Amino acid sequence: MASNQQTRPGIGALAKDTASGRIGVVMGAVGGRVQIRPIGGGREWDAVPDNVQTLSAREELSARLAIRNGNSRDRL
């Protein structure tokens, strides 16, 4: 039986903050919060660990394509 802790993305992984709907790169965790940075760079935001999920295959493909195309400004 897999726990939620095992399914959370690790540092450097793409992840979705389900509370805001934003996708970014997991940078670390401090004070019970997960720090996530937008894909295109910028200011990190804090997310509640229970709201941070691994991307579906479709979401990850879309995010990586946006990075490659340079279209990662909006909501990514």
24: closest CA among 69, 58, 57, 64?
A: 64
Token pair 């909006």 is found at 74
Mean pLDDT of the chain: 85
List pLDDT tens digits, range 24-43: 999 999 999 999 999 888 99
**Does residue 76 sit within a domain?**
no
Domain that holds residue 13: 4-65
Which two tokens mark 4?
Answer: 């939620």
15 Cβ contact list (under 8 Å, min separation 6): 8, 9, 23, 24, 25, 26, 34, 36, 52, 53, 54, 55
What pLDDT is stored for residue 73 in this prediction? 54
Is 70 part of any domain? no
pTM of the model: 0.77
Give pLDDT tens digits for 61-73.
Answer: 998 888 888 765 5
The CATH number covering residue 14 comes to: 2.30.30.140
Query: What is the percentage of the chain residues whose pLDDT exceeds 90?
Result: 66
24 found inside a domain: yes
- pLDDT of 3 reads 46
Total structural domains in the chain?
A: 1
